[in-house]
Amino acid sequence: MKTTFREALKAAHREALQKDPRVLLMGEDVGRYGGAYAVSKGLLAEFGPERVRDTPLSEGGFVGAGLGAALNGLRPIVEVMTVNFSLLAMDQLVNNAATLLHMSGGQLNVPVVIRMATGAGRQLAAQHSHSFENWYASVPGLRVVAPATLEDARGMLWTALADPDPVVIFENALLYNLEGELADDAGPVDIDSARVMRAGRDVTLITYGGSLGKTLEAATTLATHGVDCEVIDLRSLRPLDDRAILASVRKTKRVVVVDEAWRSGALAAEVITRIVEGAFYDLDAPPGRVCSEEVPVPYAKDQEQAALPQPAKIVAAVERLVKARG
């Protein structure tokens, strides 16, 4: 069937609410308004205010309430409007959700799912546009995933809800209008493994979330230049699928990582470090990366686009990598 990323997410929420009475959705504007990005539109009328709960404008408060609900046997889905605002709840996520299993000696699981929009490209300026996935992916005790396809938008939520520990789902806001075909019987998906989105022999391109489409576009362009790229969608940011990453790099001997976060401290740096540690002698060239410019995301459209990874930047990075191959 033809659908959108947004509708795939909504179908996942509806299924979860139908299948498990312990599941509830909570967050700012998820009820009457239908969600900041219309993911939950119609769910309040279908499931009622006990299962779809509008919360006050207090990320620390309602994320904390979600953790409490999880500790008491429910399976809450907590929607944070944008990743920038999640910083107000970082104490709850990093100091509580991520640590309680360890600090209780294995007695306290926190089966909560935190969903949040991330990414730029919509002219919403710096306070609504950054990519902090790498911050959360650095925290032991959290599982972090990033759907980039309709299949994963539909299937990651239920798998995340089955996890006994906290899962953070990052949804790049530019993907909500993504259209495509989705199988009628689409269901839960694996959230542990990376996926080869395009097989190739010359260069491995590794990315996730909103950068996947740009990376695939760059790979198509590079194919016309005689460069055959393999494209890897990480899908899981913590834990990283080292096996899939290293297998591809050992095959192609070259790698470029595409990451919308800032270059300094980005997840790209962690991926490259693992490649150097695990496949250094397989490389024929130094690893490359394409990240956002080291500035707060600009408001002006031309400047915003210039600050972000784009297909042309990816093409240029790959061509620099292969120009000496002869």
How many whole angstroms separate alpha carbon 89 and alpha carbon 91?
A: 5
pLDDT digits (tens, 9 = 90+) for 18-34: 999 999 999 999 999 99
Domains defined along the chain, listed by start = 2-181 (3.40.50.970), 195-322 (3.40.50.920)
Q: What is the edge-to-edge ordering of all strands in the sheet holding 167-172?
A: 52-54, 23-27, 75-80, 113-118, 167-172, 143-145, 236-238
| Model confidence pLDDT, tens digit, residues 228-238 | 999 999 999 99
- Per-residue pLDDT tens over the stretch 230-268: 999 999 999 999 999 999 999 999 999 999 999 999 999
Q: Is 273 buried (19+), middle (13-18) or exposed (0-12) by CB count in 10 A?
A: exposed
The Cα 153–Cα 6 span in angstroms is 8
Residues labelled catalytic: 59, 128
Instruction: Kindly report the average pLDDT of the chain as a whole number.
Output: 96
Q: Which of 115, 132, 40, 44 is nearest to 78 (CA)?
A: 115
CB atoms within 10 A of CB 278: 14
Distances (CA, A) of 9 to 39, 109, 114: 6, 25, 14
CA distance 228 to 247: 16
* The pair of three-digit structure tokens given for residue 179, joined into one six-digit string: 């259209």
323 — pLDDT class (breaks 50, 70, 90): confident
Q: 23 and 75 in contact (C-beta within 8 Å)?
A: yes
Q: Is the pTM of this model over 0.85?
A: yes
CA terminus-to-terminus distance, the chain: 46
Evaluate whether 154 touches 9 at the Cβ level (below 8 Å).
Answer: yes
